[in-house]
Amino acid sequence: MNDFAHLAVTRASLDNCVKCTICETQCPVMAVTSKFPGPKYIGPQAERFRNGESVDHSLDYCSGCGICTLSCPQGVQIAELNAQARAVMKEDHMPLRDQLVSRTTVMGALMTPVAPLANGALRIKPLRKIVQAIVGIHEDAPMPVANGRTFEAWFNKRPKRTTPAPRGALVFFHGCAGEYFEVETSIKSVEVLEHIGYEVLVPKQGCCGLAQQSNGLFDTATKAVLKLCDELTSAGKDLTIISSSGSCTGMLKHEAHEIMGVDDSRLKDVGTRIRDISEFLLELHDQGELPEDFQRIEQVVPYHAPCQLKSQGMGLPVIPLLELIPGLTVVESGANCCGIAGTYGLKKEKYEIAQAVGKPLFDMVKATNEGLAVCDTETCRWQIRKGTGVQVEHPVWLIHKAYGLS
Amino acid sequence: MSTPHVVVIGSGLAGLTAAHRLMAGGARVTLVTKGLGGLQLSQGTIDVLGYAPGRVERPLESLASLPAEHPYRTIGAEAVATALGYLTDVVVDDLLAGEAAQNVWLPTAVGAVRPTALAQPSMLGGQCVRGARFVIVGPKQLKDFHPALIAGNLARTDLPDGGRLDARPASFDLPGRDHEVDSSGLTYARALDDPAFRARFAAAVKPLVEPGESVGLPGILGLKDRNAWRALQDLIGHPIFEIPLPPPSVPGMRLNETLTNGLKAARARFILGSKVVGFAADGDVLRSVTLGEAGRQVVIAADAFVLAAGGFESGALDMDSYGVVTDTIFGLPLVGLDAPLIHGDYWGAAQPVFAAGVAVDSSMRVLDGDRVVYANLRAAGGVLAGAQRWQELSGDGIAAASAVIAADSILGGRA
């Protein structure tokens, strides 16, 4: 298994490392713990000593946030190297916990029908202690709140849309969290796209495999991402695909290819057609095609750009987009990562690190919010909600409100 | 042109300065950069000219004596003074002090005496002048700071003013965090932003200082808190100064973060992590650059462009295995390629290859002989041909001044 990881094709980029330390200065994990010697050591330096076997298991403390790769001026694929080395390191003794937390659809599907029960169970302290002891998920780790109805159920049961769609059709990719937990964000995304004149198609769709990828389960993740590509394409071959799941979008755009070596025309096709919703709306604005009859929202809103959104190399489209709303002031968190990094911050041995990584962000959000903070990815929102007690939503909530839709 | 849209390529000193100047002049700026710029690797000072080839005391007066092909001959002393004045104004929080016209001599991490024009106020107490009395102090757990090496070298150096100074080493035990035995300067700098750690640090330094001495400390005295060093000086009760370390360079990070955050606050679009992979032009007008973002290529059209991507160190210039040198972004004509570009004498004269780059006119437009290549493309910083920056200590001044000229000529409507 994991042939691509064994071959470590990204290894070729390690010779570009000039040891400049820029990645070290940006690494959010290295900043808060001495357990992780940093991206320069664990990435290009340690990689020279790996021959199948990892010489240094502190590799597992890399959260995979990708800030190192993003910041590297020499094009070294540090985070990708780490992800591959970790997949090889863990393949003979993959913890049950890591297999469980990466099954996002299963979690959602099991919790939704029994939402009050599941939500209640996750709040039972003794139960969480048992889970921590047996499974290894920290008792205080942020958990999603099950919704009771899925996004698909809403989409399929709502009254048939009668307003025109002069701009043609788009495909909406909701991601697992957008289907089961952050249902409201998916609904608002669809309503915004329909409001500005698109027909939104939602084919039946599964998981992108990101959580499995980040836990080193490349085979299952590859199967998942290719199945998803087929599903998204089933709605129409050349349509633009929109998502409000920032990190799942990144999986399709580049991570499945660059980390797992998925070299498949279906992924290439979907990966070039998918847009983050803010990226898409800002592009419309730049082309003079975005309706900008926004209602005034007199508010200061802290915004955290998740690491996996930043790693898509498109800048921060949310800021200029939201500031089209009169009265709205966006304050960028300036934090490289919230700490959760997908499933990293759930794990009992990494929980404290993830909280320490998030602390400056939590302090910033607490100090600047006027009742709302925004962030593009689901697990990051759970982390920031838990760390601050502040309502944290997807930026599309503000666009939805400014269009008078809520 | 009412509100020109300008694409700046590169986020080193040249790119950041150009972007600031353009934003301040009313342009809309998109800054694209493959990674974080090299400014944070610098010592956090601004050199203009340190050696030509002897020590330079008054850099602006020495520019005219440089060879005709040197970028400073095109840039001129006035633009350098303007640019450095602009930087000290733009770089808020009192982060830079000094003047372009006069060099100061500051100690390095190996105890050499280095000329520079602008320095951070936290460094200026370390001026190497006759009769100075230094004690060089650092925590034993800090990498890359060796008080005995620094003090020994400083004390045996004939200073630019002909005199000598006194310097002695001292050290103390204080891990940057936990029980770490080889912390980086950045770990200490983050700790020193915290007043409680500062108090412990000061308490360890204070007993090591004798009356009349200035305390030379590693350049780690706070990252976010710009007054951390002043607070520390009050606690220690003697004049202190910072000596910049090799990367990760905390003073370099301060400078980089100040310039970058200022640009973001002014709402320049800052696109990190994507490389320019192509461009489109009509005759001598550049229309757009193509950015290789995750999953796709994005075309960014603009009215004007500033190439500030650096030289070989960033990969903007490249030499292949046949010795062919190219500009990897626009394929611009290069000068300074007369063979041999590299000679085998490692300790000998400067390698000619590092003076390769583009030739520009007085508004930083790239030239092919006498012809302007693209009327709306300007070059700034490390890509300009004709300087041996590392040997002359001229890179910062060239970058800042060429960036200001490039920006001003775009704003002046000559884009």
Each residue's pLDDT tens digit, A37-95? 999 999 999 988 888 778 788 999 999 999 999 999 999 999 999 998 888 888 888 88
CB B334 within 8 A of CB B327: yes
Same-domain status, B138 and B239: yes
Across the interface, whether the CB atoms of B186 and A25 are under 8 A apart is answered yes
Answer whether B3 touches A (CB < 8 Å). no
- Strand-strand pairing, A373-375 and A392-393: parallel
| Contacting residues for B96 by C-beta, under 8 A, at least 6 apart | B45, B46, B87, B88, B118, B119, B120, B255
- pLDDT for A136 equals 87
CB neighbourhood size of A157 (10 A): 8
Searching chain B, which residue's CA lies closest to the CA of residue A30? B187
The CATH number given to whatever domain includes residue B233 is 3.40.50
Q: Which of B40, B292, B313 comes nearest A25 by C-beta?
A: B40
Q: Between chains, do A25 and B253 touch, taking CB under 8 Å as contact?
A: yes
Question: Does residue B213 lie in a domain region?
Answer: yes
Mark which residues 309-328 of B lie under 8 Å from A by CB: 313-315
DSSP codes of every residue in A30-62 = TTT-SS---HHIIIIIHHTT-BSB-S-GGGGG-
Task: Confirm whether pTM is higher than 0.90.
Answer: yes
Residue with tokens 């900008």: A292
Max Cα distance, chain A (Å): 63
Nearest to B263 by CA among A310, A65, A332: A332
Q: With both helix axes pointing from N to C terminus, report the angle between B77-90 and B13-24 in degrees, rounded to the nearest 10.
A: 80
Are residues B229 and B303 both part of a single domain?
no
pLDDT of res. B414: 44
pLDDT digits (tens, 9 = 90+) for B90-99: 776 689 999 9
Structure tokens at B186: 């950045």
The answer to whether A71 contacts chain B (CB < 8 Å) is yes
The residue among A360, A356, A354 whose CA lies nearest residue A341 is: A354
Across B72-150, the runs of DSSP E, i.e. the strands, are 97-98, 104-107, 113-116, 118-119, 133-139
pLDDT at residue B93, as a whole number: 66
Determine, yes or no, domain membership for B193. Answer: yes
Indicate if the pLDDT at residue A10 is higher than 80. Answer: no
A315: nearest CB among B36, B179, B269: B269
Residues 6 or more apart from B322 whose CB is under 8 A from it? Answer: none
Position B150, amino acid: I
Give A9's pLDDT tier (boundaries 50, 70, 90).
Answer: low
Of B208, B243, B278, the domain-final residue: B243
Nearest-Cα residue of chain B relative to residue A26:
B36
Residue of B nearest to A253 (CA): B295
Q: Chain A interface, mutation test: which of B39, B177, B190, B293, most A Cβ atoms within 10 Å?
A: B293
Closest residue of B to A257, CA-based? B295
Based on the fold, state whether residues B223 and B316 are members of the same structural domain: no
Share of chain A above pLDDT 90, in %: 74
Q: Nearest-CA distance from A196 to chain B in Å?
A: 23
Count Cβ atoms below 10 Å from residue A172 Cβ, excluding itself: 24
Using a 10 angstrom Cβ sphere, with 0-12 exposed, 13-18 middle and 19 or more buried, the burial of residue A201 is middle
Q: Are strands B133-139 and B166-172 parallel, antiparallel or unpaired?
A: parallel
Contact yes or no for B270 and A71 at CB 8 A: no
A51 in contact with B, Cβ within 8 Å: no
Q: What CATH number matches the domain at A292-402, 3.40.30, 3.40.50, 2.60.40, 3.60.21?
A: 3.40.50
**Is B273 in contact with A313 (Cβ distance < 8 A)?**
yes
**Residue B183 near residue B141, CB atoms below 8 Å:** yes
Q: Which of residues 140-199 of A touch B (CB under 8 A)?
A: none
Between CA B228 and CA B197 the distance in angstroms is 11
CATH superfamily of A4-89: Alpha-helical ferredoxin (1.10.1060.10)
Q: Decide: residue A126, CB within 10 A, 0-12 exposed, 13-18 middle, 19+ buried.
A: exposed
Residue B98 has a pLDDT of: 93
Strand B240-243 with B359-360, pairing: unpaired
Chain B nearest-CA residue for A279:
B298
Same domain, B405 and B261: yes
A231-238 long-range contacts (CB < 8 A, ≥24 apart) are A231/A203, A231/A204, A231/A205, A231/A206, A232/A171, A232/A173, A232/A203, A232/A205, A232/A270, A232/A274, A233/A266, A233/A269, A233/A270, A234/A203, A235/A169, A235/A171, A235/A201, A235/A202, A235/A203, A236/A169, A236/A171, A236/A201, A238/A273
Tell me if chain A has a CB within 8 Å of the CB of B274: yes
Would strands B214-218 and B133-139 be described as parallel, antiparallel, or unpaired?
Answer: parallel
Q: Six-digit token pair at A316? A: 């921060």
Confidence of residue A122 (pLDDT cuts 50, 70, 90): confident
**C-alpha distances in Å from residue A271, one per residue of A179, A251, A275:** 20, 9, 9
The structure tokens listed for A319 are 């800021």
- Give residue A56's pLDDT: 84
Closest by Cβ to A272, choosing from B40, B247, B296: B296
Whether A71 and B272 lie within 8 Å, measured CB to CB: yes
Of A21, A314, A332, the CB nearest to B293: A314
Question: Are B265 and B378 contained in the same domain?
Answer: yes
B309-350 pLDDT per residue, tens:
999 999 999 999 999 999 999 999 999 998 789 999 988 889
- Measure Cα distances from B270 to A159, B110, B186 in Å: 42, 36, 25
B269 touches chain A (CB under 8 A): yes
Q: How far apart are CA B266 and CA A333, in angstroms?
A: 15
Contact with chain B for residue A77, Cβ under 8 A: no
Q: Is B277 on the interface with A (CB under 8 A)?
A: no
pLDDT in tens, B265-314: 999 999 999 999 999 999 999 999 999 999 999 999 999 999 999 999 99
Mean pLDDT of B254-258: 96
Residue-wise pLDDT tens digits, B100-132: 999 999 999 999 999 999 999 999 999 999 999
Residues B262 and B397 in one domain: yes
Region class of B7: left (phi > 0), else alpha (psi between -120 and 50), else beta: beta
Is the pLDDT reported for residue A163 higher than 90? no
For chain A, the domains span: 4-89, 292-402
Q: Which of B130, B158, B147, B131 is nearest to B208 (CA)?
A: B147
pLDDT (0 to 100) of residue A320:
98
CA-to-CA distance for B364 and A117, rounded, in angstroms? 68
Whether residue B352 sits in one domain with residue B238:
no
Minimal Cα–Cα distance from A84 to chain B, Å? 19
Do B180 and A34 count as a contact with CB atoms less than 8 A apart? yes
Q: Considering the domain boundaries, does residue B219 fall inside one?
A: yes
Q: Which residues of B touch A28 (CB under 8 A)?
A: none
Query: Nearest Cβ partner of A313 from B247, B261, B293?
Result: B293
Q: What is the predicted pLDDT for the residue at B92?
A: 66
Domain end call among B193, B217, B243 = B243
Domain boundaries, position B192: 124-243
| pLDDT per residue as tens digits for the range B166-189 | 999 999 999 999 889 999 999 999
* Mean pLDDT computed over A261-284: 96
Which residues in chain B touch residue A267, judged by CB atoms under 8 angstroms apart? none
For residue A341 the two structure tokens come to: 């990094």
| Two tokens, residue B25 | 């002049």
With 0-12 / 13-18 / 19 or more C-beta atoms within 10 angstroms meaning exposed / middle / buried, residue B169 is buried
Residue B295 to residue A72, Cβ atoms within 8 A:
no
Q: Taking a C-beta distance cutoff of 8 angstroms, is the pair A398, A325 a contact?
A: yes
Count of domains forming chain B: 2
Write down the pLDDT at residue A8.
62
Residue A67: closest C-alpha in chain B: B273
**Residues B38 and B151 occupy one common structural domain:** no
Contact B293 A75 (CB under 8 A): no
Q: Does B35 touch chain A (CB under 8 A)?
A: yes
CA A316 – CA A229 distance, rounded (Å): 26
Q: Which chain A residue's Cα is nearest to B253?
A: A25
CB contact under 8 A, B271 and A313: yes
pLDDT at A12 over 80: no
CATH number of the domain to which B11 belongs: 3.50.50.60
> Is B101 inside any structural domain?
no
Phi, psi of A259 (to 5 degrees): -90, -45
Question: Contact at 8 Å (CB) between B172 and B205?
Answer: yes
Q: pLDDT above 70 covers what percent of chain A?
A: 98
Is the predicted pLDDT of residue B415 greater than 70, yes or no?
no
Long-range interactions of A383-387: CB distance < 8 A, separation 24+: A383/A142, A383/A338, A383/A339, A383/A340, A383/A345, A383/A354, A383/A358, A384/A304, A384/A338, A384/A358, A385/A142, A386/A142, A387/A142, A387/A338, A387/A355, A387/A358, A387/A359, A387/A361, A387/A362
What 3-state DSSP class applies to B358?
Answer: strand
Residues 165-194 of B with CB under 8 A from A: 177-180, 184, 186, 190
3-class secondary-structure state, position A81:
helix
Say if residue B303 is in the same domain as residue B386. Answer: yes
Are B239 and B258 contained in the same domain? no
Greatest Cα-to-Cα distance within chain B, rounded to the nearest angstrom: 70
User: How far is the C-alpha of B118 from the C-alpha of B251, rounded, in Å?
Assistant: 12
Number of H helices, E strands in chain A: 24, 8
Quick one: closest CA in B to A271, which residue?
Answer: B295
* Cβ B403 vs Cβ B29: under 8 Å: no
A96: tokens are: 């049950």
Q: What is the pLDDT of residue A133?
A: 84
Is some CB atom of chain A closer than 8 A to the CB atom of B289? no
d(Cα A248, Cα A342) in Å, to the nearest integer? 10
Is A272 in contact with B180 (Cβ distance < 8 A)? no
**If you count residue pairs, one on A and one on B, with CB atoms under 8 Å apart, how many are there?**
93
CB B117 within 8 A of CB B47: yes
CB within 8 Å: A21 and B271: no
Using CB atoms and an 8 Å cut-off, which of residues 333-372 of chain A contact chain B? 334
Give me the residue from B184, B267, B314 closest to A24, CB to CB: B184
Report angle CA A190, A191, A197 to the nearest 5 degrees: 95
- Helices B250-265 and B13-24 cross at an angle (nearest 10°) of 30
For residues B300 and A313, give the distance between their C-alpha atoms in angstroms, rounded to a whole number. Answer: 14
Amino acid letter, A66 = G
Around Cβ A284, how many Cβ atoms within 10 Å?
15
Pick B34's closest partner by Cβ from A20, A73, A314: A73
Q: Which of residues 31-50 of A touch B (CB under 8 A)?
A: 31, 34
B144 and B24 in a common domain = no
Domain's final residue, options B243, B278, B294: B243
A323 touches chain B (CB under 8 A): yes
Is B149 at the interface with chain A, CB within 8 A? no
* B305 and B398 both lie in a single domain: yes
